[in-house]
Amino acid sequence: MREIIFDTETTGLDSRTDRIIEIGGIELFNHFPTGRTFHMYVNPAGQKVHPDALAVHGITDEFLKDKPPFSEVAEPMLEFFGDAKWIAHNANFDMGFINAELARLNRPPILPDMVIDTLSLARRKNPMGPNSLDALCRRYGIDNTHRTKHGALLDSELLAEVYIEMIGGRQTALGLSADSGRARGSDRQSENEDTVIAVLSRPSPLPNRISDAEREAHRALLTQLGENSIWRKYGSVQQP
């Protein structure tokens, strides 16, 4: 199963007038990063970066002057995403901008059934919140200390780690390493190969946690309960 964790940065908050200026994506295959990424800065076609947005991502109008317009970014972006699920944090925001940009090019929109919103997923799992990306990184022990500004690719990398933790991906994969996940992502033939999992035996049994005094106290309690007690059917505490 192929998924793309992605994020966008924009000139502002209104998809009707503001424009995408950065998009980044991380490819997952069976919930493991494959190492393939997509990252482009986009010229916003004359739309100025709002000061509030600049304070968040730090991308200036001057920096964007020589970047390609979305019309040149759309095709490689869509090729990278292919038939994968589009996964974003607060996906309604990002998809609003993606589909607005596609509409300007007379391209069909990305349909809702192709999109997963990790914010909605986080709210279901953690209804008391907070559920911002920074808060989720703290909750799942993911280091985000290098994140001083928002950035599409950096935020996608962090969200990929958060998403894998939220869906239990590492546990369902039986602890396989990320490197083996990347290998499966780059070599599809290995999908049908059997995985050998070694089950180790404990070299010696764990010590009994019930002391002799506790065992005797339990036997005394059974005696006090009388012959009709259901606990009498189980007898006294046995050795493990």
Active site residues: 150
Residue with tokens 């991308």: 59
* C-alpha–C-alpha distance, residues 10 and 3, integer Å: 23
Determine whether 1 is exposed, middle or buried from the number of CB atoms within 10 Å of its CB (0-12, 13-18, 19+). exposed
E-only strand ranges, 105-157: 115-117
* C-alpha–C-alpha distance, residues 92 and 13, integer Å: 12
E-only strand ranges, the chain: 2-10, 20-29, 32-41, 85-88, 115-117
